[in-house]
C-alpha cells in the first residue's frame, strides 16, 4: 500500500511539479479551495474541499497520513498591500498552519513529516550581508509573516512529527512567476534590469526546488528551516544581463523603481529589494543541484 501525502497548493507552480514527481511512489490527496477544479487538473486523484478555517471538514484525512506538504497561501504579489490584503496574506499562512498542527496533534497515528513553505523574505533585505539558515529574521512585513508562519508550524507540533520549512527564493519557470513576467519585454527588445540592479536575486530552478522538497520528505536528518535557493545568487543587474544573452536580446531598458512603487505601493519591495541567501543546509546534506549556475538554468528553461 502506498503511503499517503496530503498536499495543499497543488495547482500552483511548485505543487504541480511535486504531484508529477511524487504521484508514482505515493498516494496523493489534494486539498483545494475548489475540489471540483482540482479534479480537472488532477484527474484520478482524490481532491478534498479545503477551507483552512473549517478543519472539521478535512482533518479526518490527516489520520494515518505519512506526510503533509502545505504550500497554499495568498499570493503576496497579487496586488497592493492594503490592510485587508496584508491580513489575507497573514491569515492564509499562519491560521491555516496552526489548524494543521492542531489536526496533527489530535491524530492517534500522526504524520511523520510536516513540510511547510516559507520564503527568503524571512531574512529581510540587504545588499551587503549573506544569509544562511542560522541567520536571524529580518524586519518588515514579509519577515514578520515568515517568522510567525514557521513559529506556528513548529512551536506546538507533536514531537512525533518532523517539521521542515522551505524558505523559497525566486523560482525560475518560463510560464509562471517572476521570470515569466520578465521575458516578454526582452522579446520586444525593451528588456532590462528592475530598479537599481544592486538587489540580490536568490533564485532556484523549479526542478531543483522540487527535489529539495522530496529530500526533505525522505531524509530524516533534514529538520527545521531549509533555504530553497541555488548556491550562486546574483544581483539583478547580472540576472538581467544573463537573461538577455540567453534570449539573444539587449538588456538596455531598466524599469525605474519609482514606476513599480506607483503601481504596486509597498508590495514593490518584492522586486526592488532582495537578500543573498545560501542553501547551507542542503549543501551540507550532500544535495546535488542540477542547475547551480544561472546561465545553465536559464538555457534549460528557455531553450
Tens-place pLDDT, residues 169-185:
999 999 998 999 999 99
| The predicted structure's pLDDT at residue 259 | 82
**Mean pLDDT of the 133-138 span:** 97
- The Cα 194–Cα 239 span in angstroms is 10
Tell me how crowded residue 108 is: count the other CB atoms within 10 A of its CB.
6
| The predicted structure's pLDDT at residue 143 | 97
Mean pLDDT for the chain overall: 95
| The predicted structure's pLDDT at residue 264 | 83
Of 77-86, 162-171, 202-211, 280-289, where does mean pLDDT reach its minimum? 77-86
Predicted confidence band of residue 267 (pLDDT cuts 50, 70, 90): confident
What are the pLDDT digits (tens) for 188-207? 999 999 999 999 999 999 99
Coil, helix or strand at residue 123: helix
Q: Residue 214 belongs to what H/E stretch?
A: helix 206-218
- The Cα 214–Cα 288 span in angstroms is 13
Judged on CB neighbours under 10 Å (0-12, 13-18, 19+), 158 is middle
Q: How many residues does the chain have?
A: 303
What are the pLDDT digits (tens) for 205-251? 999 999 999 999 999 999 999 999 999 999 999 999 999 999 999 99
Q: Rounded to 5 degrees, what angle do the CA atoms 35, 61, 29 make?
A: 50
Query: Is the per-residue pLDDT at 1 higher than 90?
Result: no
- Packing angle between helix 236-247 and helix 177-187, nearest 10 degrees? 60
Query: Is the per-residue pLDDT at 93 higher than 90?
Result: yes
What are the pLDDT digits (tens) for 26-56? 999 999 999 999 999 999 999 999 999 999 9
CATH numbers and ranges of domains, the chain? 4-171+202-228 (3.40.50.720), 173-200+232-302 (3.90.25)
Amino acid at each position: 500500500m502506498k503511503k499517503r501525502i496530503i498536499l495543499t497548493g497543488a495547482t500552483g507552480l511548485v505543487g504541480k511539479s511535486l504531484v508529477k514527481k511524487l504521484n508514482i511512489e505515493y498516494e496523493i490527496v489534494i486539498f483545494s479551495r475548489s475540489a471540483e477544479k482540482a479534479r480537472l487538473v488532477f484527474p484520478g486523484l482524490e481532491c478534498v474541499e479545503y477551507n483552512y478555517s473549517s478543519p472539521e471538514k478535512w482533518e479526518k484525512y490527516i489520520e494515518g497520513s505519512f506526510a503533509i506538504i502545505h504550500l497554499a497561501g495568498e499570493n503576496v504579489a497579487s496586488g497592493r498591500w492594503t490592510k485587508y490584503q496584508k491580513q489575507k496574506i497573514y491569515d492564509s499562512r499562519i491560521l491555516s498552519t496552526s489548524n494543521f498542527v492542531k489536526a496533527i496533534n489530535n491524530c492517534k497515528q500522526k504524520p511523520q513529516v510536516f513540510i511547510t513553505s516559507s520564503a527568503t523574505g524571512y531574512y529581510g533585505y540587504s545588499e551587503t550581508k549573506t544569509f544562511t539558515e542560522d541567520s536571524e529574521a529580518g524586519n518588515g512585513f514579509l519577515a514578520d509573516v515568515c517568522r510567525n508562519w514557521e513559529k506556528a508550524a513548529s512551536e506546538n507540533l507533536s514531537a512525533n512529527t518532523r517539521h521542515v520549512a522551505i524558505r523559497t527564493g525566486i523560482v525560475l519557470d518560463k510560464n509562471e512567476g517572476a521570470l515569466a513576467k520578465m521575458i516578454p519585454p526582452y522579446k520586444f527588445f525593451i528588456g532590462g534590469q528592475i530598479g537599481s540592479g544592486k538587489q540580490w536575486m536568490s533564485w532556484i530552478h523549479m526542478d531543483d526546488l522540487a527535489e529539495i522538497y522530496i529530500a526533505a520528505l525522505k531524509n530524516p536528518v533534514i529538520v527545521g528551516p531549509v533555504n530553497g535557493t541555488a548556491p550562486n545568487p546574483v544581483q539583478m543587474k547580472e540576472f538581467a544581463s544573463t537573461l538577455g544573452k540567453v534570449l539573444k536580446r539587449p538588456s538596455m531598458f531598466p524599469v525605474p523603481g519609482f514606476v513599480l512603487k506607483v503601481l504596486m505601493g509597498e508590495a514593490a519591495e518584492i522586486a526592488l529589494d532582495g537578500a543573498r541567501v545560501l542553501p547551507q543546509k542542503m549543501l551540507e546534506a550532500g544535495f546535488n543541484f542540477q542547475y547551480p549556475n544561472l546561465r545553465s538554468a536559464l538555457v534549460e528553461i528557455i531553450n
